Amino acid sequence: MKNPFAFLALFSLLNLSCESEKPDQTPVSPSSENATSNPAIDMLDASTSPTHSGKSFSSSWSVTKTKLSGGKQEGVELLTLDNGKLKIVVIPSRGMGILEVTMEELRLGWDSPVKEVVHPSFIDLESRGGLGWLEGFNEWMVRCGLEFAGHPGTDQFINNTGDKATLNLTLHGKIQNIPASSYEVIVDPEPPHRIRIRGTVYESFFYGPKLKLITEISTLPGSNSFQISDQLTNQGPSPQEFQLIYHGNYGSSILEEGAMVFAPARSVTPMNDHAAKFLENWQTYRGPTESFIEEVFLLEPLGNENAEALALLTNKTQDLATSVRWNLNELPHLTVWKNTASREDGYVTGIEPATGYPFNRLVERKYGRVPKLAPGETRSFTLDFGIHLGKEEVDPLIAETTDLQTQATLELIPTPPTTK
């Protein structure tokens, strides 16, 4: 080549040009150290789209798709719904769970030791005595279910020859490790133009359950709240047992020493003898504690005249909070999981409305907490979540929980339920 310096200059210019065309967005991941440097990001819909030219939105919004690569998150898809005020990151690859929700300084989510958004193909639910589910556990919202949802163990079932057989139940069921078969973005044509991400997940088995979950994660433009609305259908010809826990997990942007959970209830029961030692302090949280052993409390929640229940988690100064509302006719039970371990081990608490408690299904059936779906029957479950900044928003919610609690005197039951 006559002028090697000219070639180098041209190569540098071309390389700089290619770099400038890359998206300036970064992938949403629990840890930036695991993010791919150049994720594939697609715009699925936005307030500026020509298809919405006749609509007037209270805030700009967008829905983008990110595809992760590298490690155990290879091929995982994330959908980010940005309503102009808060961002919701949905994981179609993991049962339409929600990785995190952020608004200003508050994040619904936690810092799990599991740093990648793990693709279900890398999960062995049977590993470590049925605890393999934990290998991918780092989302804010995880559904536990659908055929079973609690602790690992065994149960009886009728096999394909009509005989009784033993079924190994793994921790928290399968639904979170089943990719969605389809998903779509829907914008209501009429004001206030709710934005919906709708997905369909099947938990089906030959000679087994035939369950279909249709979920919608939705919000309004510019809102500080959002909704999960699920429909669960038995597509089989026979009645089908099911269990469903909405395992919401909250970490250090709100969880800290002195944080509190407000959950009006008729009773609070420790799940085991260890939790019983800390029953009096079920409502308050410690800071990160090395060698901490989880504490689990089982609540019988109270509702208003419409059977609507409310749980609220606040920071120590009670000027940051997150709330969840649900109907007790749909989800009559509530579990509070306290895992204030060291940050390296996962500093987190769970607030979990559910059809029952997280015991093994054999135990839950004994207490009448394993509902059934008739052939073709569909049941609906709706949860409304809010993020609240400042005492002017938090104080009225605390007052609301106090008012709800006046319906009944809270009973602290010191003896855990028998599981024999």
CA gap 78, 91 in Å, rounded = 5
Using the predicted structure, report yes or no on whether residue 16 has a pLDDT greater than 70: no
At 36 the pLDDT is 44
**In the block, residue with structure tokens 């500026």:** 48
Using the predicted structure, report yes or no on whether residue 1 has a pLDDT greater than 60: no
Mean pLDDT of 196-221: 97
Pick the range with the lowest mean pLDDT from 39-48, 65-74, 185-194.
39-48
Give the residue from 223, 241, 33, 37 showing the smallest Cα distance to 150.
Answer: 241
More confident residue, 80 or 38: 80
Q: Backbone dihedral region of 272: left (phi > 0), alpha (psi from -120 to 50 degrees) or beta?
A: beta
Using the predicted structure, report yes or no on whether residue 30 has a pLDDT greater than 70: no
Omega before 211 cis (within 30°)? no
In a domain, residue 419? The reply is no
Domain count, the chain: 1
At 301 the pLDDT is 98
In a domain, residue 5? The reply is no
Mean pLDDT of 105-118: 96
At 158 the pLDDT is 87
Computed over every residue of the chain, the mean pLDDT equals 91
At 69 the pLDDT is 95
In a domain, residue 3? The reply is no
Using the predicted structure, report yes or no on whether residue 33 has a pLDDT greater than 70: no
pTM (2 d.p.): 0.91
Summarize pLDDT for 279-318 with one digit per residue, the tens.
999 999 999 999 999 999 999 999 999 999 999 999 999 9
Give 418's DSSP letter: P
In a domain, residue 11? The reply is no
At 420 the pLDDT is 84
Mean pLDDT of 127-152: 97
In a domain, residue 7? The reply is no
Pick the range with the lowest mean pLDDT from 11-15, 143-147, 274-278, 401-405.
11-15
Summarize pLDDT for 318-377 with one digit per residue, the tens.
999 999 999 999 999 999 999 999 999 999 999 999 999 999 999 999 999 999 999 999
CA gap 209, 187 in Å, rounded = 33
CA gap 117, 39 in Å, rounded = 14
**In the block, residue with structure tokens 């898809």:** 77
Structural domain harbouring 286: 25-412
More confident residue, 2 or 258: 258
Beta bridge partners of 260: 284, 314
Give the residue from 102, 169, 166, 112 showing the smallest Cα distance to 142.
Answer: 112
Can you spell out the DSSP letters for 213-235?
EEEEEEE-TT-SEEEEEEEEEE-
In a domain, residue 20? The reply is no
At 38 the pLDDT is 60
In a domain, residue 37? The reply is yes
CA gap 51, 29 in Å, rounded = 30
In a domain, residue 4? The reply is no
Using the predicted structure, report yes or no on whether residue 48 has a pLDDT greater than 60: yes
Mean pLDDT of 124-141: 97
Looking only at the bridges linking them, the beta strands covering 265-270 and 411-412 are parallel
Which CATH number is 32's domain given? Answer: 2.70.98.10
Give 387's DSSP letter: E
Can you spell out the DSSP letters for 139-208?
-SEEEEEES--SSSEEEEEE-TTS-EEEEEEPTTBSGGGS--SEEEEEE-SSTT--EEEEEEEEEE-TTS
Beta bridge partners of 78: 66
Mean pLDDT of 155-166: 91
At 105 the pLDDT is 87
At 41 the pLDDT is 86
Please give the share of the chain, as a percent, with pLDDT higher than 90: 87
CA gap 157, 167 in Å, rounded = 6
At 10 the pLDDT is 36
